[in-house]
Amino acid sequence: MRLRFDKTAKEKISQHPTLIRTYERDESENLTAYFARNHPLEVEIGSGKGRFIYTKAQTHPEHDFFGFELFDSAIVKGLNKTIKQPLPNLLWVRADAQYLSRFFDQNSLQTIYLNFSDPWPKARHEKRRLTHPSFLSQYAALLNDEGHVEMKTDNHDLFFYSRDTFLSEGWTLMEESHDLHQTDRPNIMTEFEERFSKTGPIYYLKARRH
């Protein structure tokens, strides 16, 4: 699903530095203590228009949240939500999440969410998949002892590639569903999920490293 280019996004982002931080490829900042309180930290990689992570922050004020998204035209949709109703426990981060380890201390994250990540279906692009072993190694270092990754996708091939990769890299599957919407598991739908769940099942897994 192609996102329409928003020519006003960059300017709006620059006007709200307390709600969103932006980093170019060679820039980073340690955000571990950004909220200055000892609450569990949760990160969504590829937050898109932001419904999922915004709703999580709304409903779980006892946790702190970061929504990572690379594209201005997408993350500005989430920013608009916090302009209308700021949340003290949510920060948008416009940055490339392949450098996630530059932003957080080891053993500092409680949850990493991967919602409808780009499947990068061609074999030559395998290393770009957010569940490639190089990414799982990074997540393992960042998650605390109780930490885990949660993944949702509508892509059959990406799901089973990811499932097999988690297992081969020594992770434990805590939960797995091949049709999430047919279960009674609580679920916050992303904008993408709401649209595309009508055409096929949504796959879900939850995995921990230890």
**Strand residues in the chain grouped as ranges (E):** 20-22, 41-45, 64-69, 90-94, 109-115, 143-153, 172-177, 203-208
Contact of 124 with 118, CB cutoff 8 Å: no
pTM to 2 decimals?
Answer: 0.95
Q: Is the pLDDT of residue 3 over 70?
A: no
pLDDT > 70? residue 2: no
Residue type, 204: Y
Give the mean model confidence (pLDDT) for residues 200-210.
94
User: Which of the four pLDDT bands, split at 50, 70 and 90, describes residue 122?
Assistant: very high
CATH number of 37-208: 3.40.50.150
What's the whole-number mean pLDDT along residues 144-155? 97
Structure confidence at residue 157 (pLDDT): 98
- Per-residue pLDDT of 161-179, as tens digits, reads 999 999 999 999 999 999 9
The domain locations on the chain are 37-208
So which residues are the catalytic ones?
118
Whether residue 1 is predicted with pLDDT greater than 90 in this model: the reply is: no
Distance separating alpha carbons of residues 185 and 198, to the nearest angstrom: 18
The fraction of the chain above a pLDDT of 90, given in percent, is 89
Question: Helical H runs in the chain?
Answer: 9-14, 51-59, 72-84, 133-142, 156-168, 191-196
pLDDT at residue 181 above 60? Answer: yes
Torsion sign across C-alpha atoms 11, 12, 17, 23: negative
Torsion region of 177: left, alpha or beta (phi above 0 gives left; psi -120 to 50 gives alpha): beta
- Cα torsion 180, 182, 187, 190: sign: positive
pLDDT of residue 6 exceeding 80: no
Which residue type, as a one-letter code, is found at position 140?
Answer: A
